[in-house]
Chain A
Amino acid sequence: MKPVLLIAINFVREQRWPILVLLMWVLLLAFQGLVTEIPRERDDLLFIFKQVAVYVVVFSIFFGGSAIYNERRSRRILAVLAKDVARHQYLSGLVIGVTMACGIYCFTLGLTGSWTLGQSGFHVRDVWFLMACLAAAAALAGTVALMFSTFLNPFFAAGATAVVLLLPAVLERTVSHSLGILVPTWRLTATVMRSSFDSPLEVSWTPILLAISETVFFWMMSAWIFTRIDIAVAVE
């Protein structure tokens, strides 16, 4: 477990600048909360909150999809895998690292959202439920992207991930509503996007639990693939 945590923390450390840039958006929301005349512009505030929230899912795809590629391209992967680190442990470290990066973002957004939306009349409890939805959606999206990135370059991995994550949305509209939960990132993100001051939030933990289960499933798939491929590195 120690190597897994070391790799995860190291991933967050290596991604500290993108994470800090992302957190600037959250600070923008906080700033908006300071300058907004809340009773009149609370819907605008919620709109910005939703927009900033959805970014984390997109960025988790980029974090997950590029993690292995960057490590290979920089050749840093060799020094890590030359140690007592099995391939599945290495991937676990990356999955946890991506989830930690997204978790930091969701937690900060949760704090800011509790303050800004809380004083606008949005239940603080609901803000944290939405953050749980987002964190689960981001973890799943990042893991799917990581799985594709074990054998595709980041661009195609991101494309393939988008297809997998959006397929349930298509099935939901064309085949059956219940198929929307198949890969629940879409459903969880939609929960965030549909939140409003006027209608009560539908709190269902099923998609979150399903997202966690599928994260584990896709992590196992990634590990299975990753142990069967060569670690080709860039030649200088």
Chain B
Amino acid sequence: MSCALEFHQISKEYRNFPGRRFRALDDFSLQVDEGEIFGFLGPNGAGKSTAIHLAMGFMLPTHGRGFLLGQPFGHAKTRRRVGFLAENVALYHRRAQPLVQFYGALNGMGAADLKKRSREVLEAVGLTEHASRNVGKFSRGMLQRVGLAQALVNDPELLILDEPTSALDPLARVSVRELLQRARQQGKTIFLSSHLLSEVELICDRVAVLHRGKLVRLGRTSDLIHSAEQTEIAARGITATLFTGATCENGFVHIVVPSISHRAAIEKVWAVGGEVVSVNPVRRSLEQIFLEVTAGEKSGGTAGEA
């Protein structure tokens, strides 16, 4: 499978006055496969937006290189095949439909095609009724939806979305989630940066966690949330005191043991005449994993100083 987005040992340093340097990304490598929804996580200041801005060509890497749909970062023609939604979306104050058409026209779309397509994308984001309203009068959530519409207008192969649902109400969030899932079914690749971990857990095939400019976790969402290190055993016919830390709920005793010793725990249950009901790897939420890998970070922490 070919890659839609590749970062190869990319570092990015910001030079501050007077001569201080901050490393926002440190030897960062990542590959996003075509056709997947990829979740990009990290606390504030971890370097997520920097990585996205590098991919879009807004910034130049200090070291390393990257490719967007097979072309080096910053290649303008390739961006015609990409849809981008920035964090805290900012758009010109025009009526919604002409605005979406303006952004489509910047991507070289023809007028006839644009009119039809802009109507379609505004409908997809639930703004048909507001198509002739000036976006300057829109709420933040509506603005985010127009931003999504302008990102989709050119029918992109790759969608790069920086916090696409942060300002949306739960209903709108569900509709955006469905929109992204439909996009994946159409074979599009979605690179999604978000703080809404439950959303990411629901729709992303793979996730990466960035912390202080470094990649600290990468893997399939299902693999990450199902721990290979711990196993949960549910049993009945025994007392909870048999195992340290075991809990009793509705007549079932829940025991969490290291995976390496789960066989011994099962035999212990059997030895006292108990019945093993289920044995599963421990399922953790993405939030738990996120907190685990970013533990120790001070609030508002930023990338490392170079």
Contacts and interface: CB of A to CB of B under 8 A. Distances in A.
A229 B91 CA distance: 23
Interface in B283-304: none
Contact of B150 (A3, A10, A79): A79
A236 B140 CA distance: 13
A79 B80 contact: no
Contact of A84 (B59, B80, B92, B147): B80
What interface size band does chain A fall in?
Answer: 20 to 34
A83 interface: yes
Given A3-B106, A78-B86, A79-B86, A84 B60 contact: no
A78 to B, nearest CB: 4
A28 interface: no
Given A78-B58, A81-B57, A231-B59, A6 B86 contact: no
B90 A78 contact: yes
B145 interface: no
B119 interface: no
Interface in A1-55: 2-3, 6-7, 10, 14
Interface string B60-85: 10000000000000001101101010
B53 interface: yes
Interface of B: 53, 56-60, 76-77, 79-80, 82, 84, 86, 88-92, 102-103, 105-108, 147, 150, 154
28 contacts: A3-B105, A3-B106, A3-B108, A6-B105, A10-B102, A14-B92, A75-B86, A75-B89, A75-B90, A76-B90, A76-B91, A78-B90, A79-B86, A79-B91, A79-B147, A81-B57, A82-B84, A83-B80, A83-B103, A83-B106, A84-B77, A84-B80, A84-B106, A85-B106, A86-B76, A230-B59, A231-B53, A232-B59
